[in-house]
Amino acid sequence: AAEELGISEINAPSPVRAALSSGLSTAVGAIVPVLPFFWLDGVTAIIVAAAVSLVAHFLVGAAKSLITVRSWWTSGLEMMGVGALEGVVTYGLGLAAGKLL
């Protein structure tokens, strides 16, 4: 079955290259919502960071459609929705932790 799919150890990607690619992608994605805080503060920075994050999530989702069979619009909205839910949950956990500590 592996031969039929073109999978073999010979054409497998380098683990080091995969790790570097994954790490760099994570770092770039993680810095996006932090950038507004270099120039803004308070509620304004939070709102801009949320908006920038939602746009970034949409763009990544739309780009994902290049390798899937889904439409770019649907894929972008799905990724943006997941990102919004993730942000709300994380913000809520931060508020709860702040009250407990």
Q: For the segment 48-96, what is each residue's pLDDT rounded down to a tens digit?
A: 999 999 999 999 999 999 988 899 999 999 999 999 999 999 989 999 9
Kindly state the tokens that stand for 97. 């932790």
Residue type for 31, please? Answer: I
Q: Are 84 and 97 in contact (CB under 8 A)?
A: no
Total domains in the fold of the chain: 1
- Whole-model pTM: value is 0.74
- Whether 25 is covered by a domain: the verdict is no
- Whether 91 is covered by a domain: the verdict is yes
Host domain of residue 49? 33-100
Q: How far apart are the first and last CA of the chain?
A: 54
Measure the CA–CA gap between 54 and 73, rounded to whole angstroms: 14
Measure the CA–CA gap between 88 and 70, rounded to whole angstroms: 26
